[in-house]
Amino acid sequence: MKKAVYLFNAALIMLMSSCGKKPQAPVAEKIPYVVKSNGNERVDNYFWMRLSDDQKNAETPDDQTARVLSWLNAENDYAGTVMKHTLSLQEKLFSELKGRIREDDETVPYLDNGYYYHTKYFSGKEYAVYYRQKTGSDSPEVMLDVNLLAEGHEYTGVAGTTVSPDNRLLAFGTDHVSRRQYTLQIKDLASGELLPDNIPNTAGLALWADDSKTFLYVSKDPETLRAATVMMHRLGTPVSEDRIIYHEGDETFSVQLGRSKSKKYIIIVSTHTLATEVRLVEAAGPEKGAVIFEPRGEDHLYSVDHLNDRFYIRTNSGGAINFRLMSCPENRTAMTHWKDIIPHRPDILLGNFEIFDNYLVVNERIKGLTNLRIIDLENNSGHYLDFGEETYTAGISINPNAGTSLLRYSYSSLTTPNSVYDYDMSSRTRTLLKEDEVLGGFDRNNYESRRLWATAGDGTKVPVSLVYRRGFICDGNAPMLLYAYGSYGISSDPSFRSNIISLLDRGFVYAIAHIRGGSEMGRQWYEDGKLLKKKNTFTDFADCARYLINENYTSARHLYAMGGSAGGLLMGAVANMEPELFNGIIAQVPFVDIVSTMIDASIPLTTFEWDEWGDPRKQEYYDYMLSYSPYDQVKEQAYPNILVTTGYWDSQVQYWEPAKWVARLREMKTDDNILIMDVNMAAGHGGASGRFERLKTTALEYAFMLDLEGIKK
């Protein structure tokens, strides 16, 4: 009977729409469920929306699955009905977005072990084709055509393409569900045949030993999807006989693999928010097992690389909150042997680094911007690259060869398309290898970018990057899209985004709030936006919005907010805390049911994120998280217009979080503003896998805002 009610809801929406009446939003059934934790109890009326993986994968849905699917389909039908009048605008936007992308495009080749590698896209194709070309040859060869792998599948993801040291075999991972559970496969590059070695439920990356017959990979926990165990496989042997090289027994840690610049070591990294531990496996003899580089310690984060009989270590040891760079001899890795190369500096965050035979390159974040510093190892002299723009993004690119003076790096800004350069560190000259071609008449001179500083409630200066079309009048009447993320120490850098041209050309300002919780202003910037200081992330965003309104860049009537995943949590929090600041909010795959998720250790990602959000089994963290949890803090008040997107197969933010949030918003909100949810029933956290298919969601998001602004074309 309940299933019939939900099917009736969906049918009712379509019937009322066809009669010209305002469609009625689906009304979710309330079934009280008590969520218990550490003596705390909360009633969750929409807990029934949660399905297990077994239920989702079953050929025949049970009653609960049928009810949930009916509800999600009803939401999709309702969203489609509400946005039906914008379909022509969505089609135009999709055409614009796609039209800026050069369909027959390719990446800049890089040289590794005698071959040049690049990927290429073809007109009308959604996926990349992986190529290589032997040095001295004029004939590139296809290694992997993802378009062929995708045939017959609604979703296809490929990860970890690695070629064996003898250049004969290609290892790669495929995911056709969007759960980031990859099946490893091996391809013979001479014959084009796939070997019978299929390994399911991996992280997607295989790293080869020197013999080109053995590789290491990471196996995932089938329930939590935690990357937990490093395995060794030998070609031609049953997967059941694979040997465990290392199992991470601490459920708050996950493991990942890397390779040293020297290619001598396969590096195993056990990591969580506050600590890391590195193990080394000799590529010439992986059967010897893994050796600890430096035992894990409380609040000690470090990473290593190796070249020319030395290890280089980026570490926060000794109170170096912004990290320092150290080195040690190959045979003396204990911390007592580490010596400073670049000491800690309180005003500069030391990011990733690249080592060469004669040079060292470090990515340093200074006043919120990325800088590339070149150090000559012979005389220890150094210099920075000058990029010549007020706000920009630069980063170290693919540099597999140590015996060169050429640094490959990437660069872009809010007005400069993504670019790839080779920089000669000896002559200090740079060569532009490629700047992404933006079709559709794009001219960077038509746009202007700025970097501003908003003041948070506690006096902290928060950087804001923004871009608009030249001729913009700062009178408060312009619509603005304000974006932010603000979690995990991930910085939202001002890089080029061709999609936003569709907004800029229609009078929008696009802004990025570099709020606490990221690392734009150093590691302390991150520390001040996590755990019991998490609310700084939300108040920073609101204060940036207020600043932009007060400075007449926009007004609350024309301001729109956007964020995804943890940035979607931000959207939910500010919607509850400061709804009057925004005319619309777009919450992409939003992490909005934080307390329930962090309580349940069986949910993917939970256990090793307790140091990010807090462990709600401890009362102090439970109370604090509950005080801002978007789902729990929904109240009777007016909310902005809201568009929510999610994916049914999302393994990072399960679909039921946004679904429950929308249901509760419908129950509680006192306004008549739009509230719709778009559920991609074939995708996960990253949305559709095809490079063009995902633009349909962007077109929907833009049409949502443009329609609210009365912009019809």
Residues with a known catalytic role: 565, 650, 685
Tell me which amino acid residue 107 is.
Answer: T
Are 523 and 323 in contact by the 8 Å Cβ rule? The answer is yes
Tell me which amino acid residue 382 is.
Answer: G
369 to 110, 353, 363, 392, 465: CA distances (angstroms): 27, 16, 10, 7, 11
Instruction: Give the helix/strand (H/E) hosting 163.
Output: strand 157-163
What is the dihedral angle through the alpha carbons of 484, 487, 493, 499, rounded to the nearest 10 degrees? -50
Q: Edge-to-edge, what's the strand order for the sheet holding 276-282?
A: 254-259, 265-271, 276-282, 291-294
Are 697 and 679 in contact by the 8 Å Cβ rule? The answer is no
Are 189 and 134 in contact by the 8 Å Cβ rule? The answer is no
- As a whole number of angstroms, the distance between CA 322 and CA 307 comes to 24
- As a whole number of angstroms, the distance between CA 279 and CA 292 comes to 4
Place of tokens 């309940």: 2
Q: Which two tokens stand for residue 311?
A: 């290890």
In terms of Cα–Cα distance, which of 250, 201, 251 is closest to 222? 201
What ranges in 83-173 are assigned the alpha helix state H? Answer: 87-99, 146-150
Pairing status of strand 480-483 against strand 559-564: parallel
- As a whole number of angstroms, the distance between CA 392 and CA 368 comes to 10
- As a whole number of angstroms, the distance between CA 512 and CA 392 comes to 12
Are 615 and 677 in contact by the 8 Å Cβ rule? The answer is no
Neighbouring C-beta atoms of residue 386, cutoff 10 Å: 8
Q: Edge-to-edge, what's the strand order for the sheet holding 382-384?
A: 348-355, 359-366, 369-376, 382-384
In terms of Cα–Cα distance, which of 577, 622, 584 is closest to 481? 584
Place of tokens 């943890």: 566
In terms of Cα–Cα distance, which of 613, 578, 623, 507 is closest to 38? 623
- As a whole number of angstroms, the distance between CA 560 and CA 508 comes to 10
Place of tokens 């302390």: 524
What ranges in 491-534 are assigned the alpha helix state H? Answer: 501-504, 523-527
